[in-house]
């Protein structure tokens, strides 16, 4: 089993068990963003079996200060399960989440799919407010820097 497969399985198991995801403290931790994205792809595939399909995508670490704090040099992206997307107003059960937190986010519903290649054509965006629930990572200062 590759390091990415080990990382994906570890993250999925920790998610299901509602335990902290201290992935960067493990021997099989991703060593760069490419490996991290490979592990994330496997993790999402494993969770799709129980959580259902991906409903959208998120870009994080868009702030240079946060990038510096976590040792990365660019924003990072990830999938969001459709079952974790709520229309406002929404009520959630905190017992369904591990270390529940609420963040203010901006979400967009695309007016049309993006074309498969660049240059992109004009696409109408419909901004709407969104709150996203997230799990806390225990080791913020231990992120891949390569």
CATH code, domain carrying 47: 3.90.850.10
Instruction: Give which of 144, 135, 145 is closest to 39, Cα–Cα.
Output: 144
Q: Is the pLDDT of residue 51 over 90?
A: yes
The H-or-E segment that residue 34 falls in is helix 33-51
Confidence of residue 2 (pLDDT cuts 50, 70, 90): very high
Q: Is 138 inside a domain boundary?
A: no
Q: Is 145 inside a domain boundary?
A: no
- The total of structural domains in the chain comes to 1
pLDDT of residue 131: 42
Q: Is 18 inside a domain boundary?
A: yes
Q: Is 70 inside a domain boundary?
A: yes
Q: Is 122 inside a domain boundary?
A: yes
Largest CA distance in the chain: 45
For the record, the structure tokens of 133 come out as: 């629930």
Q: Is 107 inside a domain boundary?
A: yes
Indicate the DSSP class of residue 71.
Answer: T
Task: Give me the domain span that covers residue 25.
Answer: 3-133
Indicate the DSSP class of residue 141.
Answer: T
Q: Is 143 inside a domain boundary?
A: no
**No. of H helices and E strands in the chain?**
3, 4
pLDDT digits (tens, 9 = 90+) for 9-32: 999 999 999 888 889 899 999 998
Q: Is 141 inside a domain boundary?
A: no
d(CA 6, CA 29): 9
Confidence of residue 115 (pLDDT cuts 50, 70, 90): low
């Amino acid at each position: 089993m590759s390091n990415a497969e080990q990382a994906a399985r570890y993250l999925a198991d920790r998610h299901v068990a509602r335990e902290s995801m201290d992935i960067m403290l493990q021997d099989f931790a991703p060593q760069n963003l490419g490996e991290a994205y490979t592990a994330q792809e496997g993790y999402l595939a494993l969770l799709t079996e129980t959580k259902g399909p991906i409903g959208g995508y998120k870009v994080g670490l868009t702030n240079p200060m946060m990038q510096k704090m976590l040792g990365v040099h660019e924003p990072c992206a990830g999938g969001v399960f459709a079952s974790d997307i709520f229309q406002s107003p929404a009520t959630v059960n905190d017992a369904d989440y591990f270390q529940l937190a609420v963040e203010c986010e901006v979400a967009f519903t695309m007016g049309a799919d993006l074309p498969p290649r660049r240059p992109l054509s004009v696409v109408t965006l419909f901004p709407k407010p969104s709150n996203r629930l997230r799990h806390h990572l225990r080791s913020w200062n231990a992120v891949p820097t390569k």
